[in-house]
Amino acid sequence: MSLKIAVFISGRGSNLNAIIQAISDKTLDAQIQCVVSNDPEAPGLLIAKQHGLPTFGLAHKGMKRREHEEKILEHLKQYEIDFVVLAGYMRLISPEFLQHFKDDGGFYRVINIHPSLLPSFPGVSGYEDAFNYGVKVSGVTVHLVDEELDRGTILAQVPFPRFPDDTLTTFSARGLSVEHALYPAVLQTIAKEGVKLTPKHKVEAKK
């Protein structure tokens, strides 16, 4: 099926651009319904607008998380969305938000890409933390989002090497190139096959 997605960004939107390119190249069967950002000035929103995509920028400063998310959810009601795709979205997603995307298959239809081989180096500075630790190999993880930070079911991981003469800049750039190939590929697998989880991975229904 053609996957209908809302892409959430906070910054320059490089993964958004990779997804747009994959759709254009017909290697990803998806439709971007809306691009959402918690920064109305995020450069990635300009990328979206240049491609004629609907955008919604809403600053989170001065707002409680619940109020901010409710306004986003209200905006998204006008679209049919199969998955929320977090692509450099630097805000934690609340359990209340996730409940709006609970799937009958036992998971939340929210996906994230993270710049490390989880469970190592969770959080906002994966590349920097891995580099400073001195890893010989790092990587990129695509995972389902659940109530715990960077702990959701892993859908795919791809490693990449650290070279002796690497700087943080060259190390991070190598990781970004992996991200830009991996994220569209995982989304295409979901478009073709859906998400298949073992019973231990399924989200328990809230009582």
Residue 76: which domain range?
A: 3-194
Q: Which CATH number characterizes residue 150's domain?
A: 3.40.50.170
Q: Could you read off the pLDDT of 107-141 as tens digits, one per residue?
A: 999 999 999 999 999 999 999 999 999 999 999 99
Instruction: Compute and round to an integer the Cα radius of gyration of the chain.
Output: 17
Domains held by the chain: number:
1
- Is 17 a domain residue? yes
- The predicted model scores a pTM of 0.92
- From residue 37, give the alpha-carbon distance in Å to each of 12, 15, 123, 129, 148: 11, 13, 19, 25, 21
- Residue 139 counted as domain residue: yes
Q: Is the pLDDT of residue 160 over 80?
A: yes
Within-domain flag for 57: yes
Is residue 145 one of the residues assigned to a domain? yes
Element (H, E) at 46: helix 43-50
In a domain? residue 207:
no
Average pLDDT, integer, range 16-24: 98
| Lowest mean pLDDT across 37-46, 151-160, 168-177, 192-201 | 192-201
Compute, in degrees rounded to 10, the torsion defined by CA atoms 119, 120, 125, 126: -100
The stretch 151-170 carries a mean pLDDT of 96
Backbone angles phi, psi at 96, to 5 degrees: -65, -40
Q: Convert the pLDDT of each residue in 177-187 to its tens digit.
A: 999 999 999 99
pLDDT at 198 over 70: no
**pLDDT of 33:** 98
Q: Using 50, 70 and 90 to split pLDDT, how confident is the model at 206?
A: very low
User: Rounded CA gap, 44 and 49, in Å?
Assistant: 9
Q: Binning pLDDT at 50, 70 and 90, where does residue 161 land?
A: very high
Q: Considering 60, 68, 114, 143, which one is annotated as catalytic? A: 114
Q: Which residue has the higher pLDDT, 80 or 201?
A: 80
In a domain, 199, yes or no: no
> What is the average per-residue pLDDT within 140-163?
95
Model pLDDT, residue 203: 42
Residue-wise pLDDT tens digits, 2-11: 999 999 999 9
pLDDT recorded at residue 197: 75
Per-residue pLDDT tens over the stretch 48-95: 999 999 999 999 999 999 999 999 999 999 999 999 999 999 999 999
204 within domain boundaries = no
- pLDDT category at 196 given cuts 50, 70, 90 is confident
Q: Can you tell me the mean pLDDT for 16-20?
A: 98
Q: Is residue 157 part of a domain?
A: yes
Q: Is 60 a catalytic residue?
A: no
